[in-house]
């Protein structure tokens, strides 16, 4: 039984009736522009064919009842209880329930109508793997409430509301990239987003290449303070650099030349973090020109340089990610390989020649297992459309 059918039958069993709709929202993989979204930089993600599905209907009450099929857990909350991060019985919401509850909170704060729903949801976006499982849950529930509430907002606005939920409700000081990709994804395209203006455009994938995702099987927790600490370092760099360059609002406003001129004025660790950001923003801008000219080799080199920078300057890699990236970079048909997402575990993204992809996936898995004794999950992924709702 596929996930869609499993959801429908679980819904029937749980609520004794059929759902009216199924919302779908993808995870994402990022090709270039890592940790730059919260520095007003440029990113190049794609929505992927791993999704969160929510089967739902109007509950006719203000209370929502949710079953998380993958976890076998349920919760129920309403507009009042979520203000205290509690379910309707006054029990603190568990970690997974904070994503849909946070989305509800964020929509309510905008004055958008959010009828109570009965919902069963499941996801094949691996959790904590750097593929934005949380954003896909937020966007799927956002799309579900949009349907039930009878309103319609641009996907990018839904993404902003998801980001607000994640920052202010869940407590991760994230950027806009994940929710954006999940909401605005375009089939067979990368998405080039200016994280300051939120202008974006779909970009063709390089010809005759595929995106291969390789999962270290090492899990991280995003709420882990390391992410927020990185962001704080960037903000510190901006504060100091503003003393010399008053026009700077974010590291995006600092050129490579300016950075090197003033780097010595920053504390050492802060300087390293800022160097990654300034160089990574330059890499991403260059990458889009390379894609236009179908210069895949140089594009791949930028991916490799990004990994080295995340490992050495931004320090968000881990030994398993380094093994996977290094192995991949040495394999025939692989243009570029690097960690994707926040880091500290999770997945690498690899740009691979179509005809080499199967052998690449097989050999990469074997090589990784030989070195680490871990079994990686490796799959060729397709870029997909963003969040949507269909009638059952």
Residues near ligand GLA (CB under 6 A): 34-35, 37-38, 132, 174-175, 177-178, 341-342
CB nearer to ligand GLA: give 300 or 341: 341
Comparison of 7 and 234: residue with beta carbon closer to ligand GLA: 234
User: Is 289 considered catalytic here?
Assistant: no
Tell which residue, 297, 307, 309, 364, has the closest CA to residue 335.
297
User: Helix or strand or coil: residue 379?
Assistant: strand
212, 137, 164, 176: which is closest to 37 by C-alpha? 176
Nearer to ligand GLA, 147 or 272 (CB): 272
Task: Give 120 or 165: the residue with its C-beta nearer to ligand GLA.
Answer: 165
Q: What is the CA radius of gyration of the chain?
A: 21
* Shortest CB 229 distance to ligand GLA, Å: 13
| Closer to ligand GLA by Cβ: residue 39 or 384 | 39
Residue 208 CA to chain centroid, in angstroms? 25
Minimal distance, residue 120 CB to ligand GLA, in Å: 26
Catalytic residue among 37, 40, 87, 178: 178
Minimum gap (Å) between residue 271 Cβ and ligand GLA: 20
Q: Cβ contacts of residue 359 below 8 Å, gap of 6+? A: 332, 333
Distance from C-alpha of 14 to C-alpha of 340, rounded to nearest angstrom: 37
**Distance between CA 318 and CA 290 in Å, rounded?**
29
The tokens describing 359, both together, are: 């052998």
The minimum distance between CB 107 and ligand GLA, in angstroms, equals: 19
For residues 29 and 215, is the Cβ–Cβ distance under 8 A?
no
Cβ within 8 Å of residue 138, ≥6 positions away: 25, 99, 100, 102, 103, 162, 165, 166, 179, 182
Taking the complex as a whole, the smallest distance from the CB of residue 30 to ligand GLA amounts, in Å, to 6
- Element containing residue 365 per DSSP (H, E): helix 357-372
The sign of the dihedral angle between the CA atoms of 281, 284, 286, 289 is negative
Closer CB to ligand GLA, residue 148 or residue 195? 195
Burial of 366 from C-beta contacts in 10 A (0-12 / 13-18 / 19+):
exposed
If you count them, how many residues does the chain have?
A: 392
Give the CA-trace dihedral at 194, 45, 275, 326, to 10 degrees. Answer: -160
Instruction: For the CB of residue 53, give the shortest distance to ligand GLA in the complex, in Å.
Output: 21
Query: Which helix or strand (DSSP H or E) is residue 347 part of?
Result: strand 347-353
Q: Residue 57 and residue 119: Cα distance in Å, rounded?
A: 7
Instruction: Decide whether 26 or 76 has the Cβ nearer to ligand GLA.
Output: 26
* Cβ 180 to ligand GLA shortest distance, Å: 9
Which residues are known catalytic residues? 178
């Amino acid at each position: 039984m596929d996930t869609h059918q499993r959801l429908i039958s679980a819904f029937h069993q749980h609520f004794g009736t059929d759902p009216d709709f199924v919302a779908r929202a993808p995870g994402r993989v990022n090709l270039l522009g890592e940790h730059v979204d919260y520095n007003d930089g440029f990113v190049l993600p794609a929505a992927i064919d791993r999704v969160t599905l929510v089967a739902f209907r109007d509950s006719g009450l203000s209370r929502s009842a949710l079953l998380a099929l993958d976890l076998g857990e349920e919760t129920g909350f309403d507009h009042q209880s979520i203000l205290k991060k509690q379910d309707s019985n006054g029990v603190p919401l568990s970690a997974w329930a904070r994503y849909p509850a946070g989305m509800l909170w964020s929509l309510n704060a905008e004055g958008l109508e959010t009828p109570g729903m009965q919902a069963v949801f499941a996801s094949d976006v691996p959790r904590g793997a750097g593929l934005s499982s949380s954003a896909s849950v937020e966007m799927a529930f956002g799309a579900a409430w949009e349907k039930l509430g009878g309103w319609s907002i641009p996907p990018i606005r839904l993404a902003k509301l998801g980001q607000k939920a994640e920052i202010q409700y869940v407590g991760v000081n994230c950027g806009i990239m994940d929710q954006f990709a999940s909401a605005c994804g375009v089939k067979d395209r990368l998405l080039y987003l200016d994280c300051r203006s939120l202008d974006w455009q779909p970009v063709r994938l390089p010809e005759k290449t595929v995106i291969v995702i390789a999962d270290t099987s090492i899990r991280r927790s995003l709420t882990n303070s390391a992410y927020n600490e990185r962001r704080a370092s960037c903000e510190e760099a901006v504060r100091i650099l503003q003393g010399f360059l008053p026009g700077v609002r974010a590291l995006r406003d600092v050129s490579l030349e300016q950075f090197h001129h003033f780097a010595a004025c920053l504390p050492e660790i802060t300087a390293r973090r800022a160097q990654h950001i300034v160089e990574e923003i330059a890499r991403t801008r260059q990458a889009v020109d390379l894609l236009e000219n179908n210069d895949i080799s140089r594009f791949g080199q930028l991916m490799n340089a990004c990994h080295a920078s995340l490992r050495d300057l931004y320090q968000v890699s881990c030994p398993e990610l380094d093994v996977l990236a290094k192995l991949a970079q040495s394999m025939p048909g692989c243009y570029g390989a690097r960690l994707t997402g926040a880091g500290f575990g999770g997945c690498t993204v690899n740009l691979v020649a179509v005809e080499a992809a199967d052998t690449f996936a097989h050999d990469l898995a074997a090589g990784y297992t030989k070195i680490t004794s871990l079994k990686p999950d490796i799959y060729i992924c397709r870029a997909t459309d963003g969040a949507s709702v269909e009638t059952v």
